[in-house]
């Protein structure tokens, strides 16, 4: 059983949080970031919700590609060519494709149970 899980969101500071519009019909499960649809605002909303749900068992961090691409992210991009934003759980890319609470929560719960 993992004691701590790291959720890393990777993208550009000016990018969207996902491919869907941010309106009253969004299915991401986050409300504190509406109606902006911005990656950085969505990350803050996700981090706040994860802290409320998991406390210190989950660390949320953001890697902005504006300042360069870290080696661990280059490896994921070279291998899998995923869309941005990337969601990494304990350093492994998960094909979620957007900042969405429920699929990220499922991956965290899976990692905590492993």
Q: How far apart are CA 19 and CA 105, in angstroms?
A: 19
Stated pTM of the model: 0.92
Q: What are phi and psi of 110, to 5 degrees?
A: -65, -45
Helix segments in the chain, DSSP class H = 39-54, 71-80, 101-113
| Structural domains in the chain plus CATH codes | 5-113 (3.40.30.30)
Mean pLDDT, the chain, rounded, equals: 91
Closest to 30 measured CA to CA, from 46, 50, 51: 46
| pLDDT by 10s per residue, the chain, length 114 | 668 999 999 999 999 888 777 766 667 888 878 787 899 999 999 999 999 999 999 999 999 999 899 999 999 999 999 989 999 999 999 999 889 999 999 999 999 998
């Amino acid at each position: 059983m993992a004691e701590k899980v790291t959720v890393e969101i990777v993208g550009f500071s000016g990018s969207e949080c996902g491919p869907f519009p941010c309106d009253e019909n969004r299915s991401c499960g986050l409300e504190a970031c509406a109606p902006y649809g911005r990656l950085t605002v969505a990350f803050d909303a996700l981090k706040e919700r994860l802290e409320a749900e998991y406390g210190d068992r989950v660390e949320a961090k953001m890697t902005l590609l504006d300042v360069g691409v870290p080696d661990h992210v280059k490896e994921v991009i070279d291998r899998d060519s995923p869309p941005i934003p990337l969601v990494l759980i304990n350093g492994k890319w998960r094909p979620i494709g957007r900042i969405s609470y429920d699929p990220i929560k499922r991956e965290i719960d899976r990692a905590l149970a492993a």
